[in-house]
Amino acid sequence: MSYPDDLREAVDRHLESVRFSGESATEGLEDAMRYSLLAGGKRIRPVLCLATARSMGRPIEEYLSMAAALEMVHTYSLVHDDLPAMDDDDLRRGQPTSHIRFGEAVAILAGDGLFAEAMRTLAAVPGDPERVLETVKLLAGATGVAGMVGGQYVDVTAEDLDAEQLLRLHSLKTGRLIEVSVESALAYGGVPAAGRGSYELFAREVGVLFQIVDDILDVTGSDEELGKPQGSDERHGKVTYVSLYGLERARELAAGSHGAAIAALDEVEGETGSLRSVADYIYRRET
């Protein structure tokens, strides 16, 4: 099954329509924000959101603003992750990173702006106020100390991680934003917490799968395939699934997470084809 490009294209069209600046003094900041936001990619997080909506039988148009907010948060994390104080990367998605193109100060502000605009966008989604509030709380929580930012802190401070610590690091840094892409759609759709278990298991395994494959590709991929310099993790001395387990065992772990994700979807009622195809795409990236 192929990637759900119809959902990706819907996300791209919506993001293209988004504007941030209402005055000439901040137009340059908007340029920097849109430069990174519109740089392309598979839009995995917003696509997961729309695919979850589709599985519930809901019109994807109702979820486009939520999907855009997820991509804004993801883009903010990439802009900041590329900074000299973090991973110090010059390329992202095949083009100069934000701080190379606009300077470090503007890149920091662009990331800050994207996060703030994501929260504003999500809070303004029409619908039941309690459901909207839950989606805001979920995304903020997945981004903060108990989520992505906390994981980034562990990444820049921890040394000699063992297997359990590595899994915890990536469940925060990478996994939480992937998980909340599904969870927020369920919350907005009114699915009670008791009915989210199989979806949440799927999302957790996809988060693990994504990071394992990312670690594998950092070793086996090319700069052109990755859209960024190959071997970045090794240069920075980071513990990865490949450095900890070896390449073949990492591939086995990826296969296990992919299988567990697909098995979780077998317990979901509704049309799960788009969710399955996202998991398949992530897994196939390294095979």
Answer whether 172's CB lies under 8 Å from 151's CB. Answer: yes
Distance between CA atoms of residues 195 and 192, nearest Å: 5
The pLDDT assigned to 226 comes to 57
Query: 226: number of CA atoms within 13 Å, CB side?
Result: 21
Distance between CA atoms of residues 41 and 29, nearest Å: 22
Query: 195: number of CA atoms within 13 Å, CB side?
Result: 11
**Each residue's pLDDT tens digit in the chain (287 positions)?**
589 999 999 999 999 999 999 999 999 999 999 999 999 999 999 999 999 999 999 999 999 999 999 999 999 999 999 999 999 999 998 899 999 999 999 999 999 999 999 999 999 999 999 999 999 999 999 999 999 999 999 999 988 899 999 999 999 999 999 999 999 999 999 999 999 999 999 999 999 999 999 999 999 976 665 555 656 666 566 899 999 999 999 999 999 999 999 999 999 988 999 999 999 999 998 64
The pLDDT assigned to 140 comes to 98
Place of tokens 């589709």: 54
**3-class SS string, 100-168:** HHHCHHHHHHHHHHHHHHHHHHHHCCCCCHHHHHHHHHHHHHHHCCCCHHHHHHHHHHCCCCCHHHHHH
Tell me if residue 92 falls in helix, strand or coil: strand
Q: In whole angstroms, what separates CA 3 from the centre of its chain? A: 16
The pLDDT assigned to 285 comes to 87
Q: Please list, in sequence order, all residues whose beta carbon lies within 8 angstroms of the beta carbon of residue 246, skipping any fewer than 6 positions away.
A: none
Full set of structural domains in the chain with CATH: 5-284 (1.10.600.10)
Q: Please list, in sequence order, all residues whose beta carbon lies within 8 angstroms of the beta carbon of residue 14, skipping any fewer than 6 positions away.
A: 64, 65, 67, 68
The pLDDT assigned to 233 comes to 61
Output phi, psi for 185, to 5 deg: -65, -40
The pLDDT assigned to 287 comes to 46
